Amino acid sequence: MSELIELRREQAIREYECMKHLKLFTDEEIQSIKNKRHYHEYKIERRTKILADFINYIAYECNLFQLLLQRRRRLRIREEWVSLEKSIHNRVRVLYKRAMVRFASEYRVWTHFLRYCKTRRFVTEGSRALEQMLCYHGDKPKAWLCAIEWEHRQAKNMTRAKHYTLRGLQRHPECRELCVNFISMQLGEAMRIVKKTEEDKQYAPTANGTDLEKVLKTAKLVYKNFEHKDMAFYEELLQMFKKHVPVSNELAREAITEMRTILAAKEEMWHLLANLVLEGNNFVTEDEIKSSETLEKCVEIYQEAIDRLPTKKMHSLCIDTMLELNSTDDQSGDQKSKRKALANAFKRALVADLLEEEKLLQYLKLLLHNNNPKEELVMSVINKGLEQYPASVEIWQSYMRYLMVHKDVAVDELEAVFRKATSSLPDNSSRLPLWQMLFHYYSNRTDLPGKIEQLFRRAIDQGPEISHHYQPLFLDCIMKTSKNSIAKVRTEYQRLVKNYTTTLELHQKMANLEAMQTPPDVNEWRKCHENATQLYGKTNPTVWLQYAQ
């Protein structure tokens, strides 16, 4: 082991001499580099080898390379590139190769090496490593995809990229990424053939037919032979087809026809078709779609889908598309037609009792957004919602908001709706939002003096969720209405402590109010902290600190 280390140290002497000669590093820095390299060499030559040691050595050499480049730029020195930078590259390459041999089962070693080759543009080195990587990691589809991506994007070798794709499909016939990748490469080649043919009208066809026909036939054959055609496959495939129009139109139409047959029971399939039409993709239908007809065709597809699959999910997907369509600021589009399509989508789902709670609330929000909403329509939506979702607090909130803002109903009518809401909700539903709306209503009604205090007392008489929330707020309310008279607040506080279960917030609120008095009554202030420590001292040490302060 020591002989190998000494040999590598001797091989690096030329680097240190160049560093010193070009004044890129000081003597102390060069000695530090020697020591660190010596340390890493001993680590990777140990009997029990660890991958982390190789990674750390490689990372150190890469950082040294970056520092070297910075020094060269700063000092404007370009000499001895071979002796320095290339020597570091060679060392890193050797370290990676040793790591890939010793830890061949570690997939990340191969990917790190490919990333390094991509950064340094060592395309040939990367291509050589791919074949070895696939021997060890051919069971991973991502390894084949990595090899295809490298040959296609980096090496620009379409032959090897196709070779890896076909081998990968043989090994992983269920991998949709490999199938879509191969079809994409074939269509890309077809587009290059079309472009070349347009540039050179004398481009000669092959003896067995045109090159274009052969390429498209191969893509079609791979598509037909792929057996795992699910929704994710078609989504990825059709998105890829959009990038290769018009050469992909024929194959895209065939794929859509088969998709409509295989996945007719999937709501996502119809949603995908409608969105493709909305984007203006002509391969969805046999006839060419004009830009003015896209919305109409989209609605037709959704109508056909709802007739075949009358489900909540299908209606929700249709509504989502219409909402997104109306949210875009497209001045060229027919805004009236978009709004009409959205309204029809909501009404269709409402009539069929297939409107999800979230979408029903959106519908109510849109209706109440108008200054003068149609009462009959609003009430029909609310009644449908309460009938289908009796446990929905949000629908009751919308109902109360409608009565308070748009109808300006009498207090008795609003109270009746509130009582009906609180009694209709199941025990596990929170009634606090409804109480908060009622408090908001009474706080804005200055013509009803004394009502807010009565409402506080009603709330405190409720269950723990409501009572505990409004107890500390009640003390604030009394303090304001009694013109900062602490006596009435103390009386109410003592009544709450005696007759109700209280929260820590109540005692802290009363302690703060006592502290604000000038001068504060120490005995009353102490009582608040004593109550807090007696009830919550075992579980909350903060109350003792507040008491001590």
Give CA separation, 44 vs 4, 31, 54, 431, in Å.
11, 20, 6, 67
Reading the block at residue 262, the tokens are 């295989």
Range(s) of the domain holding residue 407? 356-447
540 forms beta bridges with: none
206 forms beta bridges with: 209
Length of the chain: 549
- Kindly state whether residue 517 falls inside one of the protein's structural domains: yes
Q: Are residues 443 and 464 in the same domain?
A: no
Single residue among 421, 447, 473 that ends a domain in this structure: 447
- Distance separating alpha carbons of residues 446 and 89, to the nearest angstrom: 81
Q: Are residues 542 and 472 in the same domain?
A: yes
The backbone region for 426, taken as left when phi is positive above 0, alpha when psi lies in -120 to 50, beta otherwise, is: beta
- Kindly state whether residue 141 falls inside one of the protein's structural domains: no
- Kindly state whether residue 121 falls inside one of the protein's structural domains: no
Closest CA to 285 of 305, 300, 307: 300
CATH number of the domain encompassing residue 401: 1.25.40
Reading the block at residue 127, the tokens are 């291509």
- Distance separating alpha carbons of residues 130 and 136, to the nearest angstrom: 10
- Distance separating alpha carbons of residues 66 and 261, to the nearest angstrom: 57
Q: Are residues 467 and 440 in the same domain?
A: no
Half-sphere exposure of 427 (CA within 13 A, CB side): 2
Q: pLDDT at position 539, please?
A: 65
Single residue among 426, 447, 468 that ends a domain in this structure: 447
Domain count, the chain: 2
- Distance separating alpha carbons of residues 146 and 155, to the nearest angstrom: 12
Single residue among 447, 474, 500 that ends a domain in this structure: 447
User: Mind listing the pLDDT tens digit of every residue in the chain (549 residues)?
Assistant: 566 666 676 666 777 778 878 888 888 988 988 889 888 888 888 888 899 999 999 999 999 989 988 888 888 887 777 778 888 888 899 899 999 999 999 999 999 999 999 988 889 999 999 989 999 999 999 999 999 999 988 898 888 998 999 999 999 999 999 999 999 999 988 888 888 887 776 544 443 347 888 889 999 999 998 988 899 999 999 999 988 888 888 899 999 999 999 999 999 999 999 998 888 777 777 666 666 678 888 899 999 999 999 999 999 999 999 998 888 766 555 788 888 899 899 999 999 989 998 999 999 888 888 777 788 888 888 888 888 888 888 888 888 888 888 777 778 888 888 888 888 888 778 888 888 888 888 887 777 777 888 888 888 888 888 888 888 888 888 887 777 678 787 788 778 877 877 877 777 777 777 777 777 777 776 777 777 776 666 666 666 766 665
Q: Are residues 508 and 537 in the same domain?
A: yes
